[in-house]
Structure 1
């Protein structure tokens, strides 16, 4: 798979910039789960040597986004069924708490902006634009966590979410799963608009539980295909 980077790096904080670039490539699917990181190609396209690139790979390895294999390079991490089963309930609990807090702290304008994002997703779903939908969906959930106005919650969420991002937002959905997700988002937004913290929290837990089941099914299918 060819990987292309459009800009070389000039910023002073070279390490942080490389890490950010690579993290984005993993999160947007440019580097796919299970893919070997093409070190030489990336170093050339970024205009850097392989030494700072490898330091950045170590950082992403520590975050769980990459698997570092001695003398064989780095590979984008693939979540196992066990990891999905462990991580998704935690993310679900964090998003549920965020929704409950948002019911008390978010302004009417904040919730209206979340409604606008949902309506954008509905339009993307209607025209079958799954790439745009996944991007807006990421923004929707990140914005929801922001509305909780709790820095510690946001930090924990972002740290864990990087690990499950590919399993949650990159893989394509079956039509029925996509329809269901849109309907679930509608109920979540309605609960937020009603300031119904209990319902909003429960709906987020259920939403992430269904997403986890879907991700586990796909992980099982992938492992069987590799046998």
Structure 2
């Protein structure tokens, strides 16, 4: 082919695909946060038009994001009703928290053996930042740092099979774990648990850390059940 000739087809540029993936991930993150922080409550039907307007997007990336969230168990999609925020039954809630307590305990046991000095420093920094958020009554800030601490402990366990299972199960519980701190007494109790977690981690006491983490999650379960029971009672009183 001569230099002056132009090929009939040119390679398709890759940038649009990258940008589209970034948009897709961003939409998933936003809606997941809406669910976790209770902006979108369990059982709520999602209005696609309102979500598109809120996020400044078209329906295509929204629907792609909803499929991802449905696969994570955070929403349910019905051909007739559209998408609704998933709501766990009491039995599902109990069983999932029990499973998570075991995953957290195992993470702690392994992390105490395998954590690096740099990872421990990062967790300590998150712990103090979390405490600062508590002092300012910043629940969203507190929760993001709280979850980062649990996540770093799981990462420090260095077990890929555990990691994969942990992420999948935890996504279903994040909104419930967030709500478990609505009561001041529960919130302060969780802070105390984290103080003890840090001590056990610094001492490399895997057995103690596993014990604290297991009970911490079971206490979360009980707090969530109490909140859910109160909400169900209030709803019942409104309809009688």
1:33 is matched with which residue? 42
Q: Does 165-174 or 197-206 show the bigger shift?
A: 165-174
1:47 is the counterpart of 2:39: no
Does the CA-based 8 Å contact 1:27-1:166 persist in structure 2? yes
1:3 is matched with which residue? none
1:134 is the counterpart of 2:163: no
* Shift in Å, 1:68: 2.3
Runs of 4+ in 1 over 4 A off after TM superposition: 14-18
* Shift in Å, 1:151: 1.7
Does the CA-based 8 Å contact 2:35-2:85 persist in structure 1? yes
Does the CA-based 8 Å contact 1:33-1:166 persist in structure 2? no
Matching residue within 91, 96, 107 for 2:100 = 91
Residues 42 and 129 of structure 1, relative CA distance in 2, 3 Å threshold:
closer
For structure 2, list consecutive stretches of 5 or more residues without a partner in the other structure: 1-16
Does the CA-based 8 Å contact 1:101-1:197 persist in structure 2? yes
2:228 is matched with which residue? 219
Residues 25 and 108 of structure 1, relative CA distance in 2, 3 Å threshold:
same
CA RMSD of aligned residues (A): 2.3
1:65 is matched with which residue? 74
* Shift in Å, 1:113: 1.6
Query: What TM-score comes out, normalization by structure 2 length?
Result: 0.81
* Shift in Å, 1:103: 0.9
Q: CA offsets per residue over residues 57-101 of structure 1, 9 Å max, x none? A: 233223211122342221111222211101011111111111111
Q: 1-side partners of 2:109 and 2:36: how far apart?
A: 27
Helix, strand or coil: the match of 1:82? helix
Matching residue within 148, 151, 160 for 2:160 = 151
Q: 1-side partners of 2:192 and 2:75: how far apart?
A: 34
For structure 1, list consecutive stretches of 5 or more residues without a partner in the other structure: 1-8
1:165 is matched with which residue? 174
Helix, strand or coil: the match of 2:41? coil
